[in-house]
Amino acid sequence: MALIEVRNVSKIFGPRPKSVLPLLEAGRSKTEILAETGHGVGLRNINLDIEAGQIFVVMGLSGSGKSTLIRHLNRLIDPTAGEILYEGEDILGYDKNQLIAFRRKKMSMVFQRFGLMPHWTVLENVAFGLKVQGVARAMRRERAAEWLDAVGLAGYEDSYPEELSGGMQQRVGLARALCTDAEVLLMDEAFSALDPLIRSEMQDQLTALQARLHKTIVFITHDLDEALRLGDMIAILKDGELVQAGPPAEILLRPADAYVESFVRDVNRVRVLTADTVMKPPRLRITTENMDEALRQMRASPHDFAYVKVRDGDEERYGVVTQAALEEARRSRASLRDIMCELPSIPLSAPVEDILAVALQADFPVPVINDAGEIKGVVTKKAVIGVISDQAEARAARAEEALSPEEETPPEEEPPPQA
Protein backbone atom coordinates (compact mmCIF):
# COMPACT_ATOMS: atom_id res chain seq x y z
CA MET A 1 0.00 0.00 0.00
CA ALA A 2 1.31 3.43 -0.95
CA LEU A 3 1.68 6.05 1.79
CA ILE A 4 -0.58 8.47 -0.07
CA GLU A 5 -3.27 7.28 -2.47
CA VAL A 6 -5.16 9.71 -4.64
CA ARG A 7 -8.29 8.01 -5.97
CA ASN A 8 -10.45 9.38 -8.79
CA VAL A 9 -9.99 12.93 -7.58
CA SER A 10 -11.70 15.69 -9.53
CA LYS A 11 -11.84 19.34 -8.56
CA ILE A 12 -14.15 21.89 -10.10
CA PHE A 13 -14.02 25.57 -9.17
CA GLY A 14 -17.21 27.62 -9.25
CA PRO A 15 -20.52 28.13 -7.46
CA ARG A 16 -22.05 24.69 -8.10
CA PRO A 17 -19.14 22.34 -8.70
CA LYS A 18 -21.02 19.05 -8.25
CA SER A 19 -23.56 19.98 -10.92
CA VAL A 20 -20.71 20.06 -13.43
CA LEU A 21 -19.41 16.55 -12.68
CA PRO A 22 -21.60 14.85 -15.33
CA LEU A 23 -20.04 17.04 -18.02
CA LEU A 24 -16.59 16.16 -16.73
CA GLU A 25 -17.44 12.47 -16.77
CA ALA A 26 -18.84 12.82 -20.30
CA GLY A 27 -15.33 13.84 -21.32
CA ARG A 28 -16.05 17.49 -22.13
CA SER A 29 -12.94 19.64 -22.28
CA LYS A 30 -11.89 22.23 -19.73
CA THR A 31 -12.54 25.00 -22.26
CA GLU A 32 -16.02 23.68 -23.16
CA ILE A 33 -16.98 23.35 -19.51
CA LEU A 34 -15.80 26.87 -18.76
CA ALA A 35 -17.72 28.27 -21.75
CA GLU A 36 -20.93 26.39 -20.96
CA THR A 37 -21.05 26.63 -17.17
CA GLY A 38 -18.51 29.21 -16.05
CA HIS A 39 -16.84 26.56 -13.89
CA GLY A 40 -13.11 25.90 -13.95
CA VAL A 41 -11.75 22.37 -14.10
CA GLY A 42 -8.87 22.13 -11.63
CA LEU A 43 -8.35 18.36 -11.71
CA ARG A 44 -9.94 15.58 -13.71
CA ASN A 45 -10.11 12.06 -12.29
CA ILE A 46 -6.58 11.86 -10.88
CA ASN A 47 -5.20 8.56 -9.61
CA LEU A 48 -1.76 8.46 -8.01
CA ASP A 49 0.20 6.34 -5.57
CA ILE A 50 2.92 8.11 -3.63
CA GLU A 51 5.30 5.70 -1.90
CA ALA A 52 7.01 6.46 1.42
CA GLY A 53 10.62 7.61 1.13
CA GLN A 54 10.27 8.87 -2.43
CA ILE A 55 10.71 12.26 -3.98
CA PHE A 56 7.54 12.40 -6.04
CA VAL A 57 7.62 15.22 -8.56
CA VAL A 58 4.49 16.74 -10.08
CA MET A 59 5.28 18.58 -13.28
CA GLY A 60 3.28 20.55 -15.83
CA LEU A 61 2.86 23.96 -17.40
CA SER A 62 1.42 26.84 -15.43
CA GLY A 63 -2.30 26.31 -14.85
CA SER A 64 -2.10 22.53 -15.30
CA GLY A 65 -3.33 21.86 -11.75
CA LYS A 66 -0.13 21.19 -9.80
CA SER A 67 -0.89 23.47 -6.86
CA THR A 68 -4.49 22.32 -6.80
CA LEU A 69 -3.29 18.73 -6.52
CA ILE A 70 -0.72 19.29 -3.77
CA ARG A 71 -3.22 21.34 -1.73
CA HIS A 72 -5.53 18.34 -1.70
CA LEU A 73 -2.87 16.33 0.12
CA ASN A 74 -3.08 18.42 3.28
CA ARG A 75 -6.70 19.40 2.64
CA LEU A 76 -6.18 23.05 2.00
CA ILE A 77 -8.59 22.08 -0.79
CA ASP A 78 -11.27 19.38 -0.71
CA PRO A 79 -12.08 17.47 -3.90
CA THR A 80 -15.38 17.74 -5.73
CA ALA A 81 -15.23 13.96 -6.17
CA GLY A 82 -12.88 11.15 -5.21
CA GLU A 83 -10.87 10.30 -2.13
CA ILE A 84 -7.43 10.73 -0.62
CA LEU A 85 -5.98 8.05 1.63
CA TYR A 86 -3.04 8.40 3.98
CA GLU A 87 -1.74 5.06 5.25
CA GLY A 88 -5.01 3.68 3.99
CA GLU A 89 -7.08 6.16 6.00
CA ASP A 90 -9.54 8.49 4.31
CA ILE A 91 -8.33 11.98 5.26
CA LEU A 92 -11.55 13.55 3.99
CA GLY A 93 -13.27 12.02 7.01
CA TYR A 94 -11.04 13.89 9.48
CA ASP A 95 -12.71 16.37 11.84
CA LYS A 96 -11.13 19.70 12.68
CA ASN A 97 -8.86 18.39 15.44
CA GLN A 98 -7.72 15.38 13.50
CA LEU A 99 -6.93 17.66 10.59
CA ILE A 100 -4.85 20.01 12.74
CA ALA A 101 -2.88 17.06 14.10
CA PHE A 102 -2.50 15.63 10.59
CA ARG A 103 -1.04 18.88 9.24
CA ARG A 104 1.36 19.21 12.18
CA LYS A 105 2.66 15.68 12.31
CA LYS A 106 2.30 14.33 8.79
CA MET A 107 2.27 17.05 6.15
CA SER A 108 4.59 20.01 6.24
CA MET A 109 4.36 22.60 3.47
CA VAL A 110 7.28 24.62 2.07
CA PHE A 111 5.94 27.59 0.17
CA GLN A 112 7.46 29.25 -2.86
CA ARG A 113 7.60 32.64 -1.20
CA PHE A 114 9.30 31.36 1.94
CA GLY A 115 6.51 32.53 4.29
CA LEU A 116 8.94 33.68 6.97
CA MET A 117 7.94 36.04 9.76
CA PRO A 118 9.98 39.21 9.20
CA HIS A 119 10.12 40.29 12.84
CA TRP A 120 11.24 36.89 14.11
CA THR A 121 14.84 35.70 14.09
CA VAL A 122 15.88 32.88 11.80
CA LEU A 123 15.98 30.49 14.75
CA GLU A 124 12.49 31.51 15.89
CA ASN A 125 11.17 31.03 12.39
CA VAL A 126 12.61 27.53 12.20
CA ALA A 127 11.37 26.61 15.67
CA PHE A 128 7.86 27.86 14.96
CA GLY A 129 6.44 24.49 13.92
CA LEU A 130 7.70 22.93 17.15
CA LYS A 131 6.09 25.65 19.22
CA VAL A 132 2.78 24.77 17.61
CA GLN A 133 3.44 21.14 18.53
CA GLY A 134 3.94 22.15 22.17
CA VAL A 135 7.64 21.27 22.36
CA ALA A 136 9.47 22.98 25.28
CA ARG A 137 11.52 26.08 24.50
CA ALA A 138 15.03 24.72 25.15
CA MET A 139 14.33 21.65 23.04
CA ARG A 140 12.86 23.82 20.26
CA ARG A 141 15.94 25.97 20.10
CA GLU A 142 18.25 22.99 20.10
CA ARG A 143 16.43 21.18 17.31
CA ALA A 144 16.04 24.36 15.23
CA ALA A 145 19.77 25.03 15.53
CA GLU A 146 20.50 21.48 14.34
CA TRP A 147 18.38 21.91 11.24
CA LEU A 148 19.89 25.29 10.47
CA ASP A 149 23.24 23.59 10.60
CA ALA A 150 21.97 20.82 8.31
CA VAL A 151 20.97 23.35 5.63
CA GLY A 152 24.28 25.19 5.95
CA LEU A 153 23.08 28.17 7.98
CA ALA A 154 24.86 27.67 11.29
CA GLY A 155 25.78 31.08 12.65
CA TYR A 156 22.68 32.83 11.31
CA GLU A 157 20.40 31.88 14.21
CA ASP A 158 19.93 35.46 15.44
CA SER A 159 19.73 37.13 12.03
CA TYR A 160 16.44 38.41 10.65
CA PRO A 161 15.09 37.10 7.32
CA GLU A 162 15.60 40.42 5.51
CA GLU A 163 19.32 40.20 6.28
CA LEU A 164 19.55 36.99 4.25
CA SER A 165 19.62 36.41 0.49
CA GLY A 166 16.66 34.76 -1.27
CA GLY A 167 18.43 31.42 -1.37
CA MET A 168 19.25 31.57 2.32
CA GLN A 169 15.67 32.50 3.14
CA GLN A 170 14.46 29.47 1.23
CA ARG A 171 16.88 27.32 3.19
CA VAL A 172 15.34 28.69 6.37
CA GLY A 173 11.94 27.67 4.96
CA LEU A 174 13.30 24.19 4.29
CA ALA A 175 14.82 23.93 7.78
CA ARG A 176 11.48 24.95 9.26
CA ALA A 177 9.64 22.26 7.35
CA LEU A 178 12.23 19.62 8.27
CA CYS A 179 12.29 20.71 11.90
CA THR A 180 8.67 19.69 12.48
CA ASP A 181 9.70 16.12 11.71
CA ALA A 182 6.56 15.72 9.61
CA GLU A 183 6.50 12.54 7.55
CA VAL A 184 5.77 14.27 4.28
CA LEU A 185 7.20 17.50 2.89
CA LEU A 186 5.03 19.29 0.38
CA MET A 187 7.11 21.64 -1.74
CA ASP A 188 5.16 23.81 -4.18
CA GLU A 189 7.64 25.33 -6.64
CA ALA A 190 9.86 25.83 -3.63
CA PHE A 191 12.92 26.63 -5.73
CA SER A 192 11.28 28.35 -8.69
CA ALA A 193 11.85 31.89 -7.45
CA LEU A 194 15.58 31.37 -6.95
CA ASP A 195 18.20 32.34 -9.47
CA PRO A 196 19.69 29.40 -11.37
CA LEU A 197 22.91 29.01 -9.43
CA ILE A 198 21.27 29.07 -6.01
CA ARG A 199 18.51 26.89 -7.31
CA SER A 200 20.97 24.26 -8.39
CA GLU A 201 22.64 24.47 -4.96
CA MET A 202 19.28 23.93 -3.28
CA GLN A 203 18.63 20.89 -5.46
CA ASP A 204 21.98 19.43 -4.41
CA GLN A 205 21.24 20.20 -0.79
CA LEU A 206 17.83 18.56 -0.93
CA THR A 207 19.33 15.49 -2.64
CA ALA A 208 22.02 15.26 0.06
CA LEU A 209 19.50 15.68 2.87
CA GLN A 210 17.21 13.11 1.31
CA ALA A 211 20.01 10.54 1.11
CA ARG A 212 20.18 10.84 4.89
CA LEU A 213 16.51 11.37 5.80
CA HIS A 214 14.49 9.30 3.34
CA LYS A 215 11.50 11.59 3.71
CA THR A 216 8.47 11.42 1.52
CA ILE A 217 8.62 14.59 -0.53
CA VAL A 218 6.01 15.80 -2.97
CA PHE A 219 7.81 18.35 -5.10
CA ILE A 220 6.15 20.58 -7.64
CA THR A 221 7.97 22.15 -10.52
CA HIS A 222 7.36 23.33 -14.07
CA ASP A 223 10.97 22.59 -14.90
CA LEU A 224 11.89 19.22 -16.39
CA ASP A 225 15.57 19.46 -15.49
CA GLU A 226 14.61 19.97 -11.86
CA ALA A 227 12.14 17.08 -12.07
CA LEU A 228 14.80 14.78 -13.50
CA ARG A 229 17.39 15.80 -10.96
CA LEU A 230 15.15 15.27 -7.96
CA GLY A 231 12.42 12.83 -8.84
CA ASP A 232 12.22 9.14 -8.05
CA MET A 233 8.85 9.36 -9.76
CA ILE A 234 7.47 12.05 -12.03
CA ALA A 235 3.79 12.72 -12.66
CA ILE A 236 2.90 15.03 -15.52
CA LEU A 237 -0.28 17.09 -15.50
CA LYS A 238 -1.93 18.80 -18.43
CA ASP A 239 -5.14 20.83 -18.11
CA GLY A 240 -5.90 19.07 -14.83
CA GLU A 241 -5.35 15.61 -16.27
CA LEU A 242 -2.61 13.14 -15.44
CA VAL A 243 -0.94 12.34 -18.74
CA GLN A 244 1.90 10.15 -17.47
CA ALA A 245 3.45 8.98 -14.23
CA GLY A 246 6.62 6.95 -13.97
CA PRO A 247 10.30 6.94 -13.11
CA PRO A 248 12.41 9.54 -14.96
CA ALA A 249 13.90 7.03 -17.40
CA GLU A 250 10.44 5.89 -18.47
CA ILE A 251 9.28 9.46 -19.05
CA LEU A 252 12.36 10.09 -21.16
CA LEU A 253 12.34 6.86 -23.10
CA ARG A 254 8.61 6.44 -23.57
CA PRO A 255 6.82 9.81 -23.45
CA ALA A 256 3.07 9.08 -23.40
CA ASP A 257 2.04 11.79 -25.84
CA ALA A 258 3.12 14.89 -27.71
CA TYR A 259 2.81 17.08 -24.60
CA VAL A 260 5.28 14.96 -22.64
CA GLU A 261 7.45 14.65 -25.73
CA SER A 262 7.60 18.44 -25.92
CA PHE A 263 9.07 18.50 -22.41
CA VAL A 264 11.62 15.78 -23.00
CA ARG A 265 12.68 16.43 -26.57
CA ASP A 266 15.63 18.62 -25.70
CA VAL A 267 16.89 16.61 -22.78
CA ASN A 268 20.31 15.20 -23.30
CA ARG A 269 19.54 11.53 -22.79
CA VAL A 270 23.12 10.35 -22.61
CA ARG A 271 23.65 12.67 -19.68
CA VAL A 272 20.42 11.93 -17.83
CA LEU A 273 20.02 8.19 -18.29
CA THR A 274 22.19 6.04 -16.03
CA ALA A 275 23.65 2.55 -16.36
CA ASP A 276 20.87 0.98 -14.30
CA THR A 277 18.22 2.27 -16.72
CA VAL A 278 19.84 0.73 -19.80
CA MET A 279 21.28 -2.49 -18.37
CA LYS A 280 19.94 -5.98 -18.92
CA PRO A 281 20.18 -8.95 -16.60
CA PRO A 282 23.39 -10.93 -17.25
CA ARG A 283 22.74 -14.31 -18.78
CA LEU A 284 24.67 -16.21 -16.14
CA ARG A 285 26.62 -15.12 -13.10
CA ILE A 286 28.92 -17.55 -11.40
CA THR A 287 28.88 -16.79 -7.71
CA THR A 288 31.97 -18.65 -6.54
CA GLU A 289 35.70 -18.77 -7.15
CA ASN A 290 35.83 -22.47 -6.35
CA MET A 291 36.55 -24.17 -9.66
CA ASP A 292 34.51 -27.34 -9.07
CA GLU A 293 31.53 -25.34 -7.94
CA ALA A 294 31.96 -22.86 -10.82
CA LEU A 295 31.95 -25.68 -13.32
CA ARG A 296 28.91 -27.21 -11.67
CA GLN A 297 27.04 -23.90 -11.98
CA MET A 298 28.09 -23.57 -15.61
CA ARG A 299 27.05 -27.11 -16.49
CA ALA A 300 23.71 -26.64 -14.76
CA SER A 301 22.91 -23.64 -16.93
CA PRO A 302 21.93 -23.59 -20.60
CA HIS A 303 24.62 -20.98 -21.31
CA ASP A 304 28.19 -21.62 -22.31
CA PHE A 305 29.71 -18.50 -20.85
CA ALA A 306 29.21 -16.62 -17.59
CA TYR A 307 30.12 -13.46 -15.71
CA VAL A 308 32.49 -13.88 -12.79
CA LYS A 309 33.91 -11.76 -10.04
CA VAL A 310 37.24 -12.59 -8.45
CA ARG A 311 38.99 -11.05 -5.50
CA ASP A 312 42.50 -9.82 -6.12
CA GLY A 313 43.90 -8.58 -2.81
CA ASP A 314 41.61 -5.70 -1.85
CA GLU A 315 40.31 -5.31 -5.35
CA GLU A 316 37.51 -7.00 -7.19
CA ARG A 317 37.93 -7.89 -10.82
CA TYR A 318 35.25 -8.81 -13.28
CA GLY A 319 35.18 -10.79 -16.45
CA VAL A 320 33.63 -13.61 -18.43
CA VAL A 321 34.64 -17.25 -18.68
CA THR A 322 33.54 -19.84 -21.20
CA GLN A 323 32.52 -23.34 -20.30
CA ALA A 324 35.33 -24.73 -22.46
CA ALA A 325 37.93 -22.69 -20.55
CA LEU A 326 36.47 -23.87 -17.24
CA GLU A 327 36.63 -27.53 -18.26
CA GLU A 328 40.20 -27.07 -19.42
CA ALA A 329 41.20 -25.12 -16.27
CA ARG A 330 40.11 -27.96 -14.04
CA ARG A 331 42.54 -30.28 -15.78
CA SER A 332 45.38 -27.75 -15.78
CA ARG A 333 44.58 -26.48 -12.25
CA ALA A 334 44.32 -22.88 -13.44
CA SER A 335 42.27 -20.35 -11.42
CA LEU A 336 39.29 -18.28 -12.54
CA ARG A 337 41.55 -15.26 -12.55
CA ASP A 338 43.89 -17.01 -15.02
CA ILE A 339 41.24 -17.98 -17.51
CA MET A 340 38.74 -15.14 -17.43
CA CYS A 341 38.57 -12.46 -20.05
CA GLU A 342 38.76 -9.38 -17.89
CA LEU A 343 36.23 -6.59 -18.37
CA PRO A 344 35.89 -3.11 -16.94
CA SER A 345 32.94 -2.50 -14.62
CA ILE A 346 30.43 0.32 -14.40
CA PRO A 347 28.63 1.64 -11.31
CA LEU A 348 24.80 1.60 -11.39
CA SER A 349 24.58 5.38 -11.27
CA ALA A 350 27.05 6.16 -14.07
CA PRO A 351 25.49 8.32 -16.80
CA VAL A 352 25.41 6.73 -20.25
CA GLU A 353 27.66 9.57 -21.40
CA ASP A 354 30.45 8.24 -19.18
CA ILE A 355 30.12 4.61 -20.19
CA LEU A 356 29.86 5.01 -23.96
CA ALA A 357 33.53 4.42 -24.69
CA VAL A 358 33.85 1.55 -22.24
CA ALA A 359 30.77 -0.26 -23.53
CA LEU A 360 31.62 0.25 -27.19
CA GLN A 361 35.23 -0.94 -26.83
CA ALA A 362 34.68 -4.01 -24.66
CA ASP A 363 34.60 -7.51 -26.14
CA PHE A 364 31.50 -8.45 -24.15
CA PRO A 365 28.61 -6.58 -22.53
CA VAL A 366 30.12 -4.72 -19.56
CA PRO A 367 29.08 -5.66 -16.01
CA VAL A 368 27.21 -3.05 -13.95
CA ILE A 369 27.93 -3.30 -10.24
CA ASN A 370 26.33 -1.96 -7.08
CA ASP A 371 28.11 -0.41 -4.08
CA ALA A 372 28.75 -3.87 -2.67
CA GLY A 373 30.52 -4.88 -5.88
CA GLU A 374 27.81 -7.31 -6.99
CA ILE A 375 27.02 -7.64 -10.67
CA LYS A 376 23.47 -6.35 -11.13
CA GLY A 377 23.34 -6.33 -14.91
CA VAL A 378 25.26 -5.80 -18.12
CA VAL A 379 25.33 -2.98 -20.64
CA THR A 380 25.45 -4.05 -24.27
CA LYS A 381 26.76 -2.03 -27.20
CA LYS A 382 23.27 -2.13 -28.63
CA ALA A 383 21.80 -0.52 -25.51
CA VAL A 384 24.10 2.49 -25.57
CA ILE A 385 23.80 2.86 -29.32
CA GLY A 386 20.03 2.77 -28.80
CA VAL A 387 20.20 5.75 -26.47
CA ILE A 388 22.32 7.73 -28.91
CA SER A 389 20.27 6.87 -31.98
CA ASP A 390 16.92 7.58 -30.27
CA GLN A 391 18.22 11.02 -29.63
CA ALA A 392 19.61 11.35 -33.14
CA GLU A 393 16.29 10.18 -34.59
CA ALA A 394 14.37 12.72 -32.55
CA ARG A 395 16.77 15.44 -33.72
CA ALA A 396 16.46 14.35 -37.33
CA ALA A 397 12.66 14.29 -37.08
CA ARG A 398 12.67 17.82 -35.71
CA ALA A 399 15.06 19.04 -38.37
CA GLU A 400 12.76 17.56 -41.00
CA GLU A 401 9.75 19.22 -39.42
CA ALA A 402 11.54 22.53 -39.52
CA LEU A 403 12.43 22.05 -43.17
CA SER A 404 9.21 20.61 -44.50
CA PRO A 405 7.32 23.87 -45.24
CA GLU A 406 10.01 24.80 -47.73
CA GLU A 407 9.93 21.38 -49.32
CA GLU A 408 6.23 21.78 -49.98
CA THR A 409 6.80 24.76 -52.23
CA PRO A 410 7.91 23.19 -55.51
CA PRO A 411 11.12 24.66 -56.84
CA GLU A 412 10.57 26.94 -59.78
CA GLU A 413 11.36 25.16 -62.96
CA GLU A 414 13.71 26.73 -65.36
CA PRO A 415 12.16 27.34 -68.73
CA PRO A 416 13.24 24.71 -71.25
CA PRO A 417 16.05 25.92 -73.43
CA GLN A 418 14.76 27.24 -76.73
CA ALA A 419 15.48 24.96 -79.56
Which of 219/305 has CB closer to Mg ion? 219
d(CA 272, CA 248): 9
- Least separation in angstroms between residue 369's CB and Mg ion is 41
Q: Give yes or no for residue 365 binding ligand ADP (CB under 6 A).
A: no
Closest CA to 251 of 259, 175, 50, 72: 259
Residue type at position 93: G
Cα torsion angle, 125, 152, 219, 186, sign: negative
Q: Which stretch binds Mg ion (CB under 5 A): 4-12, 18-26, 65-73, 327-335?
A: 65-73
For ligand ADP, the closer of residues 63 and 347 by Cβ is: 63
Instruction: Identify what 68 binds: Mg ion, ligand ADP, none; CB under 5 to 8 Å per kind.
Output: ligand ADP
* Binding at 63: pick from ligand ADP, Mg ion, none (beta carbon under 5-8 Å per type): ligand ADP
**How do beta strands 375-379 and 366-369 pair?**
antiparallel
Which residue, among 25, 112, 107, 41, has the nearest Cα to 72 in the 3D structure?
Answer: 107
Residue 171 binds which of ligand ADP, Mg ion, none (CB < 5-8 A, kind-dependent): none
| Position 223 contacts ligand ADP (CB under 6 A) | no
Cβ 100 to ligand ADP shortest distance, Å: 22
Listed in sequence order, the residues at least 6 apart from 327 whose beta carbon sits closer than 8 Å to its beta carbon are 295
Q: Can you tell me the distance from the alpha carbon of 190 to that of 177, in angstroms, rounded to the nearest whole number? A: 12
Question: How many residues sit close enough to ligand ADP to count as binding (CB under 6 A)?
Answer: 11
Q: How far apart are CA 275 and CA 321, in angstroms?
A: 23
Distance, CA of 413 to CA of 419 (rounded, Å): 17
In the list 3, 59, 66, 307, the residue contacting ligand ADP (rule: CB under 6 A) is 66
Site membership for Mg ion, residue 67 (CB under 5 A): yes
Least Å distance, CB 259 to ligand ADP, is 13
| DSSP helix/strand/coil, 102 | helix
Q: Is 170 in the site for ligand ADP (CB under 6 A)?
A: no
Stretch that binds ligand ADP, among 62-70, 247-255, 340-348, 395-403 (CB under 6 A): 62-70
The residues that bridge with 95 in the sheet, in sequence order, are: none
Q: Is 347 in the site for ligand ADP (CB under 6 A)?
A: no
Question: CA-to-CA distance for 310 and 290, rounded, in angstroms?
Answer: 10
Minimum distance of Mg ion from residue 67's CB (angstroms) = 3
**79 near ligand ADP, rule: CB under 6 A:** no
- Which candidate, 218, 242, 203, places its Cα nearest to that of 53? 218
The least distance separating Mg ion from the CB of residue 108, rounded to whole angstroms, comes to 18
Minimum CB–partner distance for residue 15 and ligand ADP (Å): 11
Answer for the pair 179, 143: CB distance below 8 angstroms, yes or no. Answer: yes
Rounded to whole angstroms, the Cα distance separating 71 from 109 reads 9
The entry of ligand ADP, Mg ion, none that residue 65 binds, CB within 5 to 8 Å by partner kind: ligand ADP
Report how many helices (DSSP H) and strands (DSSP E) the chain contains, helices first. 18, 16
Q: Which of 62, 332, 409, 418 binds ligand ADP (CB under 6 A)?
A: 62
221 touching ligand ADP, by CB under 6 A: no
10 counts as binding ligand ADP under rule CB under 6 A: no
**Residue 129 interacts with ligand ADP (CB under 6 A)?**
no
Sign of the C-alpha dihedral, residues 237, 240, 243, 244?
Answer: positive
Residue ranges binding ligand ADP (CB under 6 A) = 13, 40, 42, 60, 62-68
Residue ranges binding Mg ion (CB under 5 A) = 66-67
